[in-house]
């Protein structure tokens, strides 16, 4: 199993958000995590990627057979965990090209490889830019600076394509996207899916899952996964909303 | 009779005094500690200076004695005992090392991080350079190129001997001896420095940097630099070195003067990386520098670019006096302070001529327990019609124990002047750091990346070769500043 989360409890400032969450993800699978706002979806992404301030109070996260509860975020990234951010930050004065080269070389250094030759790097950039339909001029700009909402999200998928993660987590990648951009993002994700990697797609709406078809759908409520099913579950949620699940639990 | 006797005694005493005074003891390599007129005379004599220069020094010294050390800057340091300093020491020949193996490994490590070539590492660390590299031939090539264009570029002492008329004409024409406490001190006791003269219509074909770097090892404590761009000339000059300079002298008080005549352009870049003291704030260089350029002629331009990462204390305000009509002054600065470093730095733009323009871009970065202040003055004289200034002062904070301060002063006596000032203070956000880390970039590299991005506008003004080193230098300076 690529990712195995057992009885995960996560607190922010002492307040428990995740309350005993279990999730198993195998290579080649795509899991959708759904649920109402404020139930712990983004907290799960933060806990897996090791963001500061998200304290694991109980349980463990196993990645590739290793407990990563205490591992530094950059080490997790270099071991193949990627997060497509819900709100990508701007880094003024740092060009996308420079940023990407620094990231790729950090990964290569981690794997004991020499820095990527300039020619090879530029070729890879060109190739991956096409995948998500990104303008060349965007990569000359500073990281996310002056990018539209759609461009920022495309840029996340572009970085994912460049870094070729084993486990990619997409946190509300569909939020704020128009239908055309959504299709581009979905196309990018679908082309990157393979037998060697896995995806966790966090979304509030079923819309994205029309284009990125999940193998499993999980519903988070109050810090736990309360229902799991196949892709049909997403449609059911779309039709009935979340109430029928949450009411059952509250009762 | 008794009067004669008295005269005799008087004569004897004065003669004896003279006999045993410093003049007779010219063989000494080092002056005794302390500062008085005799020491000033001793320095001048040592350098075989003409009478007018001795008078210049003495005048400066007498003036300095009446002055008080300024205390308006936002810096704290124990009182300096000016009588506990040696004001003249003949350049010591450093013990030559056989190979880089003998050099302090920590120093080598820094050289490597900076990407300084092996040959240069050897020169900077004082390792004997073998015949194959031959720095002498490199220097000769430079000298040939410069000679072809009649460019004078030599040590200040040489200039005094070989071009006294030029030195006399321009020395203290920009920074008068009465300017400030440290400038007066420097004028009295300056050791050596550089002199550069670009003749009419000459565009200096080389960056006066590589050359300078080779020679940079023996810069003195009280450096004096004079740079003159004659009508229609151009020169780009780089002072300093990204390599860490270990220096025993705690007090540095340099003066740099630039004169740009009509249509001349002078670009002056500095990378300052003197010893900042240790993590606890012990030791480190006190750097009190007066740098000023005079845009004397119409359409002249002077541009200062500085990257300040070293010194325990930096007190420095490279300035431009825009005298000529349509003249331009620029100041681009990155000042980094870490641990217990203190920097009070900025610029002065004095608009006197018509249609004069000035730009100030200052980027302060504070980390650790350091304090970083921007202090600047934009002054527009009554006759400076249509003067324009744009100032931007940004501060970046790393951590919550450091300080950033901005003191902009604006004085305008002409209502056609347009003066703009923008200031921002920001912190490296957790979000930015996490974003980088999530892409596999560790915290220190991430800080280096973000800080370099922040300072890019200024770094871009540096000559290419130094821009690359300066970027690495910023990252190294901030190592261990967060987390």
Long-range contacts of A100-105 (CB under 8 A, 24+ apart): A100/A125, A100/A139, A100/A159, A100/A162, A102/B441, A102/B445, A102/B449, A103/A159, A103/A162, A103/A163, A103/B436, A103/B439, A103/B440, A103/B441, A104/A162, A104/A163
Reduced to 3 states, what is the DSSP secondary structure of residue B467? helix
User: How many whole angstroms from its chain centre is CA A195?
Assistant: 17
Name the DSSP letter for residue B259.
E
What size, in residues, is chain A? 251
Residue B336: phi and psi, rounded to 5, are: -110, 130
Contact A106 B445 (CB under 8 A): yes
Contact A77 B450 (CB under 8 A): no
Measured CA to CA, the distance from residue B387 to residue B420 in angstroms comes to 11
Contact B454 A49 (CB under 8 A): no
Question: What's the mean pLDDT in A45-51?
Answer: 96
Q: How far is B376 from chain A (nearest CA, A)?
A: 25
Q: How far is A97 from chain B (nearest CA, A)?
A: 12
Reduced to 3 states, what is the DSSP secondary structure of residue A45? helix
Whole-number Cα distances in Å, B143 to B52, B161, B227, B236, B304:
29, 18, 17, 16, 25
Q: DSSP H helical segments within B90-236, as ranges?
A: 105-114, 118-125, 135-148, 156-162, 164-170, 181-189, 210-215
Contact A74 B437 (CB under 8 A): yes
pLDDT digits (tens, 9 = 90+) for A59-96: 999 999 999 999 999 999 999 999 999 999 999 999 99
ipTM of predicted assembly, 2 dp: 0.96
The helix (H) or strand (E) run that includes residue A32 is strand A30-34
Of the candidates A89, A92, A102, the beta carbon closest to that of B445 is on A102
Q: What is the pLDDT of residue B6?
A: 47
Contact A106 B442 (CB under 8 A): yes
Q: Which residue of B has its CA nearest to A159?
A: B439
pLDDT above 70 as % of chain A: 99
Reduced to 3 states, what is the DSSP secondary structure of residue B43? helix
Q: How far is B106 from chain A (nearest CA, A)?
A: 23
Q: What is the pLDDT of residue B105?
A: 65
Contact A106 B430 (CB under 8 A): no
Cα angle: B313, vertex B317, B321; to 5 degrees: 165
Within 8 A of B431 by CB-CB distance, chain A residues are: 87, 89
Q: Is residue A204 over pLDDT 60?
A: yes
Measured CA to CA, the distance from residue A58 to residue B109 in angstroms comes to 43
Size of interface A-B (CB pairs under 8 A): 73
Q: What is the pLDDT of residue B113?
A: 62
**Domains of chain A and any CATH numbers:** 3-91+143-250 (3.40.50.300)
| Per-position pLDDT tens, chain B of length 483 | 444 544 554 444 333 332 222 333 444 567 788 889 989 998 898 888 999 999 999 999 999 999 998 888 888 888 888 888 878 776 554 455 666 676 666 666 666 665 566 666 665 555 544 333 333 444 556 777 888 999 998 888 889 999 999 999 999 999 999 999 999 999 999 988 889 999 999 999 887 864 444 334 444 578 899 999 999 999 998 887 655 555 556 788 899 999 999 999 999 998 887 777 777 777 778 889 999 999 999 999 999 999 888 888 889 999 999 999 999 999 999 998 888 888 899 999 999 999 999 999 999 988 888 889 899 999 999 999 999 999 999 999 887 888 888 999 999 999 999 999 999 888 888 899 999 999 999 998 898 899 888 988 888 888 776 777 777 777 777 776 654
Structure tokens at B355: 């249609």
């Amino acid at each position: 199993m690529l990712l195995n989360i057992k009885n995960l409890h996560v607190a922010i400032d002492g307040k428990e958000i995740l309350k005993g969450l279990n999730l198993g993800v195998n290579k080649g699978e795509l899991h959708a995590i759904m649920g109402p706002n404020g139930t712990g979806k983004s907290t799960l992404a933060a806990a897996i990627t090791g963001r500061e301030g998200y304290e694991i109070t109980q349980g463990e996260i196993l990645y590739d057979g290793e407990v990563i509860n205490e591992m530094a975020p950059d080490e997790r990234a270099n071991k193949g965990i990627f997060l497509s951010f819900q709100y990508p930050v701007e880094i003024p004065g740092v060009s996308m090209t420079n940023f990407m080269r620094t990231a790729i070389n950090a990964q290569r250094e981690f794997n004991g490889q020499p820095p990527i030759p300039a020619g090879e790097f530029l070729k890879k950039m060109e190739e991956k830019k096409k995948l998500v339909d990104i303008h060349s001029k965007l990569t000359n700009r500073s990281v996310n600076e002056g990018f539209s909402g759609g461009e920022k999200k495309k840029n996340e998928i572009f970085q994912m394509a460049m870094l070729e993660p084993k486990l990619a987590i997409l946190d509300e990648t569909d939020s704020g996207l128009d239908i055309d951009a959504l299709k581009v993002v979905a196309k990018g994700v679908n082309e990157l899916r393979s037998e060697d990697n896995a995806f966790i797609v966090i979304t509030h709406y079923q819309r994205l899952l029309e284009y990125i078809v999940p193998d499993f759908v999980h519903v988070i409520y109050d810090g736990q996964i309360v229902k799991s099913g196949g892709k049909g579950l997403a449609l059911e949620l779309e039709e009935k909303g979340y109430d029928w699940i949450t009411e059952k639990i509250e009762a | 009779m008794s009067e004669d006797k008295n005269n005799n005694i008087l004569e004897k005493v004065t003669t004896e005094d003279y006999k045993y005074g410093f003049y007779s003891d010219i063989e000494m390599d080092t002056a005794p500690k302390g500062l008085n007129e005799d020491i000033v005379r001793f320095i001048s004599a040592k350098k075989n200076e003409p009478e007018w220069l001795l008078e210049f020094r003495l005048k400066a010294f007498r003036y300095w004695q009446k002055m008080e050390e300024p205390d308006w800057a936002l810096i704290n340091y124990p009182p300096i005992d000016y009588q506990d300093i040696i004001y003249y020491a003949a350049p010591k020949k450093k013990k030559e090392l056989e190979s880089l193996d003998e050099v302090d490994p920590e120093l080598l490590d820094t050289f490597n991080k900076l990407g300084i070539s092996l040959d240069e590492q050897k020169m900077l660390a004082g390792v004997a350079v073998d015949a194959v590299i031959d720095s002498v031939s490199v220097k000769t090539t430079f000298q040939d190129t410069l000679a072809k264009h009649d460019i004078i570029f030599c040590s200040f002492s040489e200039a005094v001997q070989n071009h006294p008329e030029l030195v006399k004409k321009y020395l203290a024409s920009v920074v008068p001896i009465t300017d400030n406490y440290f400038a007066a001190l420097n004028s009295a006791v300056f050791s050596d420095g550089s002199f550069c003269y670009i003749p009419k219509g000459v565009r200096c074909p080389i960056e006066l940097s590589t050359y300078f770097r080779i020679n940079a090892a023996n810069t003195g404590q009280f450096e004096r630099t004079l740079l003159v761009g004659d009508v229609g000339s151009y020169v780009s000059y780089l002072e300093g070195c990204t390599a860490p300079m270990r220096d025993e002298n705690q007090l540095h008080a340099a003066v740099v003067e630039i004169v740009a005549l009509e249509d001349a352009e002078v670009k002056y870049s500095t990378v300052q990386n003197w010893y900042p003291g240790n993590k606890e704030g012990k030791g480190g260089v006190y750097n009190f520098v007066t740098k000023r350029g005079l845009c004397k002629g119409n359409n002249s331009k002077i541009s200062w670019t500085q990257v300040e990462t070293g010194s325990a204390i930096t007190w420095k305000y490279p300035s431009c006096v825009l005298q000529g009509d349509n003249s331009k002054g620029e100041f681009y600065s990155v000042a980094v302070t870490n641990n217990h470093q203190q920097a009070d730095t900025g610029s002065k733009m004095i608009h006197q001529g018509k249609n004069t323009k000035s730009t100030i871009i200052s980027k302060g970065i504070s980390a650790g327990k350091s304090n970083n202040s921007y202090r600047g003055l934009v002054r527009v004289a009554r006759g400076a019609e249509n003067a324009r200034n744009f100032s931007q002062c940004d501060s970046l904070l790393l951590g919550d124990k450091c300080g950033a301060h901005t003191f902009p002063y604006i004085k305008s006596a002409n209502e056609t002047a347009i003066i703009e000032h923008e200031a921002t203070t920001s912190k490296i956000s957790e979000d930015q750091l996490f974003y980088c880390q999530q892409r596999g970039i560790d915290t220190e590299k991430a800080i280096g990346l973000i800080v370099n991005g922040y300072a890019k506008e200024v770094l871009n003004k540096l000559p290419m070769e130094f821009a690359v080193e300066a970027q690495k230098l910023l990252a190294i300076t901030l190592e261990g500043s967060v987390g």
